[in-house]
Amino acid sequence: MPGEQTFGVEWRCPKCDSHALDLCPVGPLAPGPDTCLNCGGAFADAGDFARCAGCGMTRVGMLDFFGLDPAPPDPIGAAEMLFDLGLARRAIATLNHALVRDPANEPAWRIKYAFLSGLGFFNATLAVIEAAAEHAMNPDLLISRGHTLELLGRHSEAIGVFRQYLAAAPDGEYAGLALGNMASANRALGDLGHAEALFRQAIEKDPAGVTHYANYASLLMEQQRWGAALAALDEGLSRAVDDALAARLLESKSFAYAEQSRGVEALQAIDDAISRGTSGARTHVLRGRALGLLGRWPESLAQMRRALELEPKNAEALRALNSPSGNHDSTLSR
């Protein structure tokens, strides 16, 4: 897993504002009794003073370095506290130590999975979740595995894993998510018909899952089926309780209206999204496009310039500002 062996922790002095970067080894992905908790190497034997072949730490020195002698009575709570303090290296070592003692400790596996996934170390994440599945018999782990395979672009494998989940837990808590992820994987593979059927199944299984409506609408917009897309977005909005998700749906509505040259509705939708707190480059591009459809060119161009301040290489904003005619009713990414 090139590039996934170390991570950095940045420290800032509150007095002088100086910065320091600690480079930390990821450590073992699937720890065992002969594994060094520091670098993931192996100890030559079971003795307290055996040295790791990778970093040279002794077994007893390793435990002392990470404050694990004695082991904390609540390793999960201890690890969470260490993460809160920014001591990620010690937190991971604490989780790994707990897993050596009890490989079926599912919360420890899940925290490791979340940490590595947050770093974007998806190959390492996959190794962790596969190791977890060997010891913790919980079909929900299949959801994490399938999602990671999707992030790695291994869509066919992801579909197989989601099918395994649905076979094991057809009415499980994450059945709708499995169907929705299968739909997205099929879409990535170019099988739009199967993807549409699976999005419909996901909505039927989990009607409160707002992201299903957003992803389904995106598929419909890709096919320029604007009426069906807007209906899906409105249904999602009727169920959205989170402002961020509602804003995402409203941005998609603005895009769909703009594609139909419906400037009034496009502007209303993006202004509603802004009232929900969205303010990224895409937001300003969409608002600029809506204003352009209404002939409000100075305001439109100001929105495009604001988009470039936030994202200097935004293709839609650059195209709009560089257009000789000033007409920037261009196709935007969904």
Task: Report the interhelical angle of 140-151 vs 155-168 (nearest 10°).
Answer: 170
Q: CA 102 from chain center: how many Å?
A: 28
C-alpha 262: how far from its chain's center?
A: 33
The string of pLDDT tens digits covering residues 240-257 is 999 999 999 999 999 999
pLDDT tens digits, 146-181: 999 999 999 999 999 999 999 999 999 999 999 999
| Whether pLDDT at 43 is above 90 | yes
- pLDDT greater than 60 at residue 332: no
What amino acid occupies position 159? Answer: I
Mean pLDDT within 259-265: 98
261 Rama class: left (phi>0) / alpha (psi -120 to 50) / beta:
left
Going by C-beta distance under 8 Å and a sequence separation of 6 or more, which residues neighbour residue 177? 143, 202, 206, 209
- Helices (H), ranges, the chain: 59-65, 75-84, 88-101, 106-119, 122-135, 140-151, 155-168, 175-188, 192-205, 210-222, 226-239, 243-259, 263-275, 281-293, 297-310, 315-322
**Which one, of 179, 186, 241, lies nearest residue 219 by Cα?**
186
Average pLDDT, rounded, for the chain: 93
Q: What is the mean pLDDT of residues 111-131?
A: 96
Q: What is the pTM of this model?
A: 0.85
CA–CA distance, 235 with 213 (Å, rounded to integer): 7
Question: Is the model's pLDDT at 330 over the cut of 60?
Answer: no
Q: How far apart are CA 73 and CA 234, in angstroms?
A: 50
pLDDT at 123 over 90: yes
Residue of 157, 139, 160, 138 lying closest to 149 (CA atoms): 157
